[in-house]
Structure 1
Amino acid sequence: MPLHRIPVTADLIRGALDLETTPDGGLVPHRLPPRARARNTDPQLAAVEVQPSGVRLAFRTRATEVELEVRPTTRVYAAAPPRPPALYDLLVDGTLTAQSAATGGDTLTVDMTTGATELTPGPPGTVRFTGLPARLKDVEIWLPYAQKTELRALRTDAPVEPAAASGRKRWLHHGSSISHGTDAASPTAVWPAVAASLGGVDLLNLGFGGSAMLDPFTARAIRDTPADLITLKVGINIVNADAMRMRAFGPAVHGFLDTIRDGHPDTPILLISPIHCPIHETTPGPGALDLPAFAAGTLRFLATGDPGEAAKGRLTLVTIREALERIVTQRAAEGDKLAYLNGLDLYGPDDKDLPLPDDLHPDTATHRRMGERFAERVWGRDGSLEGF
């Protein structure tokens, strides 16, 4: 049976805050709105906010065959160990049913030692799924979390309509590369996606690799976005970049929260401190690529700061956790509907059976453990946000 070409429209897309129309009619999802992007001056954030972690197509259909025409941008790291193909996850009625990688697309080659990049254009490609059940069903296609993706068209063997509103609570999460998904095997294996599935909530993932920096424009984007629960996982990027001292960090956290509260006066907010990361527990940043390990074919990171300077206000994960707990205690006493979750409760020093492969990012099994622990502590056994 021939497939029907269906344009990808905004009503088919979940998990994005903006959709950029390309000159030939494609759509590129963004996880920050235009005003925030206009305020940004950092190429790292510009690169990662357009990577669609948590973004998915959602529709109802009887189709047994679905193709998604895309133009992905695949990142290749020069001289680094090869990475597996970026996967698209297809869910039928909420259950992961199939996975596939795209053909075609552009290639961005990155030199991790210098930061230099080179873009090689390529043709559009296709992601194909077959053998789906012929009954009427809800289908979601989750896009690769670290691959900029231009959506061009659906091709199916039966009509498609946008998925009905789920009525589920909307969870807005903001964090670092760990929340973005780094080193998870696929988009639904990222820990916030795992937790969202277990809690039956609708995820908006604003995890930005290397870029959870308490930027005011990110706070304004959160302020202006409807949500039933907001979680903020703060600290690791600020340490890796050696971006602040304690004098600036505390007021910056308060300012970030105050801005969000302007639009969410009563929404529960959970402030989450960093998970265990041995290189930065008591050693300040900046973080760096371990060049000898890299030359030997292993991707690993290290901390280059002086532990003795923590007493002078340089930030470590230990001092950041202490500061965040103080801030939550103070604001909660003032009546703010704010709670604290120690990141060590998601992944801590006792989790020695799952070491961080590059000394910074969790693997798929650790993402799963973190998502399960978050769900247990935050959703509660009855899914009622019992922590609030």
Structure 2
Amino acid sequence: MKLGHDPKLLSFRDKIRAYFENDYPKVILAKTASGASLTTAEVRRAEMALGERGWLASAWPEQYGGPGWSIEEQYIFDEELERAGAPTVTPMGVVYVGPVIFTFGTDEQKAQWLGGIGDGSVGWAQGYSEPEAGSDLASLQFSAVQDGDEYILNGTKIWTSAAQHADWIFLLTRTSREAKKQMGITFICCRLDQPGVTVKPIITIEGKYYLSQCDFVDVRVPVANRIGEEGKGWSYSQYLLGNERTSYARIGGKRKQLADIRAIASQIPTGGNQRLIDDSFFSGRLCEVETRLDALEITVLRVLTAVRDGGTPGDEASILKIMATDLAQAITTLFLEAAAEHGNRKFADSVSPDWTGDAAFAAPGVANYFGTRAQSIYGGTNEIQRNIIAKRVLGL
């Protein structure tokens, strides 16, 4: 894939960039830039702003309500969204469950769910991990017992992202214990306001609420809410996880972060007239991270080329997941070190008199540092991804 200087792609980029500069809700951009969490109403507003143009489900085919963009256009859109500082689209609907529904769901399920996912009016959460089933997801115990034309759900899902904003949750449930553990798993959708569902906040180390524990006690859902065949949920989950792990790259957002770090480091003095950007150790690591980002982008483009040509992310998604999450942690570490140097100079007697540095970046930078520590755990730990690469890619 070559984005290059294709006039059509350049014109497309200009259109998307102009939208984020002129028409996207400014209040959402300002709140995101401050590092503050969005309310549910703000999440819906941000996503419906894209949905009303048909851009929220940017990778969906036109027949299901997507814009029908090429892979190149999808990539450019994601870059410009992140460059503008817009909040990342909540992936549980448009990236995760939406494609599962239009690939494996019935016509009735497509009609019921795809519209609200695609226009941003309905939020979704993902019910995979359990207290005793994280990396070994196939060990899940969350049960779904059929009773006539309903399933009765019992169990706990944990580390559930965006549940506080969601209307629905898609769940991996165990409907049989007779086959090997990867079998007997069924993919079921449930409203989060159903009787018997309790959503409990999990406050993370940086003081934010974006994870929950979801308890289900005798929750009844129609059998019609099951996606695909009973006992085939593991196969559907692997299809979904390929899309999830590929979505972590976020090249545009990382380029914006690195540009911000370079600008910040150019303002912070380290002694005399030297600035942090001139410190050979810091600038060397910044250049290293920029090079790693170039390598990640090339890898993403190779995978997207394969998808464009009829393939799937496949096991290579594990490579992207490791590269992207390790890089996210390296970038936020540089932010943290810049904040520390800012603090050192603030209280030093030798601070340059012309220094007008602003530490507004420090609080969100520290929060992002702590937040990215979890990236190597969620979506399948990086240790598990290395096992996948060793076995399935390298054949070891």
Please give the TM-score of this superposition, normalised by the length of structure 2: 0.26
Q: Which has the higher contact order (CA 8 A, sep 6+)?
A: 1
- The structure in which a higher percent of residues are helix is 2
Larger radius of gyration: 2
